Structure 1
Amino acid sequence: MDLNSSEYFYVFLALLFVLGLVGLLALIARRFGLGFPVSGRANSARRLAVSELLPLDSKRRLVLFRRDGTEHLVLLGTESDLLIESNIQPPQDTFATVLNETSGRVPAIGKDIN
């Protein structure tokens, strides 16, 4: 079977059409929330968030969920899920709070802020 240049062109157009359909379906799925969550979106009405995710191996991962200011550590697997620790209070002294407390003052070398 010998393909001439016009048949190569039609095969290339069909490939572009199929790739375009796949891209369109991916955009529609993302629009309706069927894909992976986008971390850049901030929604203050949401009460549940994933704080951290740590893959342990190909089948298991540790997930730190935050709900209403309380964190819960869960081990997710293919067969079962296990609550490891519940009602974890998040750390209070984060970089942002320390930065706000110092209010932009930078100490000189060897000097105390206060």
Structure 2
Amino acid sequence: MHFADVLRAVFALTLTMGLIGLCAVALRRFGPDLVERLSRAPTERRLKVVESLVLDPARRLVLVSCDGEERLILLGEGQVLPPAPPQKSRPKSAKADA
């Protein structure tokens, strides 16, 4: 084998590996929803996330729009929290209890 043949084989291998890497990057970026986009016609979605607000590391408020109505959802650690009862404000008396 001549040096030119070895150089051509190394170049062909490098080109092939580069194309495989490029395809892998393209599939990683566009692949997950590519089949979905190609298979169905674009339609208007009914559910949209309007805004999201992180309250703390365990909880998040999400404003969701569904069929033109907006709902506020509290997402958390999988616990269902009952709504807190409304607190009644008591008038403060001038006398201190003894």
TM-score range normalised by the length of the shorter chain: 0.3 to 0.5
**Bigger Rg over Cα:** 2
Q: Which has the higher contact order (CA 8 A, sep 6+)?
A: 2
Structure 2 length normalisation: TM-score? Answer: 0.43
Structure 1 length normalisation: TM-score? Answer: 0.39
Bigger helix fraction: 2
